[in-house]
Structure 1
Amino acid sequence: MLRSSLLNAVCLSLALSSPLLAQEVPEDTGLLTLEAPNEAAPVELDLAALKAMPVTEIETSTVWTDGVTRFTGVALSDLLADLGEEGTVIHAMARDGYTVEIPVTDAVPHGPIVAYEMDGAPIEADMMGPYWIIYPYDSDEAYRTEEIEARSIWQLARLTLAD
């Protein structure tokens, strides 16, 4: 019993000291935070601000949903253009601290979107929402890889542009 408790304590200590877990996990505010190297302060967008941007829809199947789903949101390329910044990688962070790197080269017209609706309904925060990066998986075989699936971060809270 002592050995098991000691092992659990060591594992917990290692997990808490992990650099990934040491990052600040965003609160569930319904805001999407955008950070860029030359911006003095992060930009925080709420749902209304995202809906005011050009709307993009993707109809695609995913490994997480049944059948073809219509996703509505803002093209990742439009979000980056709105920032007016350049970089080579986007660090995306979910509310639970999950992070993934997305090459800026993925942010192309007819590419991934930051979705805020599925089949016309808001993406529930306790499910995959309120924001979810969706690629048009059915439009190109290149989007049907484990690497792209890993970039499809849900419960998205923060996008940080970096060199």
Structure 2
Amino acid sequence: MRKRAFLLCAVIAAILLACNPLRADDSVLMISTEDGEKGYSRPMLAAFPQHRLETHTSVTDGPQIFSGPLMRELLADAGFDGDSVRARALNDYEVTIPTSDFERFDVIAAITMNGEELTPRDKGPVWIVYPRDDASELQDIRYDYRWVWQLDRLETP
């Protein structure tokens, strides 16, 4: 009986390891450019200047307080140079976002919400967050599709 329980635990552990969204180097976000890939761990993202943003979302009640680096600074650090970026999430959701959004608005790569670290269970590890309350045009559904939660990759479309 113990041997069966051990084998069952081993099989479950192998499945969980195979499905683990974290990479061996602890990167939670990968950015691909023409020059290669750069991985960002949570501490690396936290080392950027953190921008605080209080705004409503289309998927939560009331205003929420987010913090994280500006998307434009993150892409610049990775050497990303393009008119648009494909954002991909852990759940395979993908959307192409014009990089002009990141110049026009202070869009952040949120790593915390209301002071709590974002995890895959609550829209993390990274969530693209627009300053929705700062501009009426951002309350349009076109922008709602660009709020990628569980973000794990940015790449050239």
Using structure 2 for the length normalisation, give the TM-score. Answer: 0.81
Choose which of 38, 43, 50 in structure 2 pairs with 1:48.
43
Question: Which amino acid is the alignment partner of residue 36 of structure 1?
Answer: T
| Stretch moving more, 132-141 or 110-119 | 110-119
Choose which of 33, 36, 49 in structure 1 pairs with 2:33.
36
Q: Residue 93 of structure 1 contacts residue 99 of structure 1 at CA under 8 Å; is this kept in 2?
A: yes
What is the SS of the residue equivalent to 1:65? coil
Distance 2:137 2:152 in 1: 26
Question: Which amino acid is the alignment partner of residue 59 of structure 2?
Answer: W
Using structure 1 for the length normalisation, give the TM-score. Answer: 0.78
The runs of at least 4 aligned residues of structure 1 exceeding 3 Å deviation read: none
Count of paired positions: 135
Counterpart position of 1:18: none
Q: Which runs of 5+ in 1 are unaligned?
A: 1-25
Root-mean-square deviation (Å): 1.6
Residue 159 of structure 1: CA displacement?
A: 0.4
Distance 1:32 1:68 in 2: 26
What is the SS of the residue equivalent to 2:122? coil
Q: Residue 61 of structure 1 contacts residue 68 of structure 1 at CA under 8 Å; is this kept in 2?
A: yes
Residue 111 of structure 1: CA displacement?
A: 2.1
Distance 2:125 2:76 in 1: 22
Q: Which runs of 5+ in 2 are unaligned?
A: 1-18
The one-character-per-residue Cα deviations of 1:79-115 (angstroms, maximum 9, x if unpaired) are: 1221233211100000111100000101126421110
Counterpart position of 2:154: 159
The one-character-per-residue Cα deviations of 1:37-85 (angstroms, maximum 9, x if unpaired) are: 2x1x310101000001111111001111111111001111111221233
- 2:104 is the counterpart of 1:105: no
Q: Residue 54 of structure 1 contacts residue 78 of structure 1 at CA under 8 Å; is this kept in 2?
A: no
Q: Residue 88 of structure 1 contacts residue 161 of structure 1 at CA under 8 Å; is this kept in 2?
A: no
What is the SS of the residue equivalent to 1:107? helix
Q: Residue 34 of structure 1 contacts residue 158 of structure 1 at CA under 8 Å; is this kept in 2?
A: yes
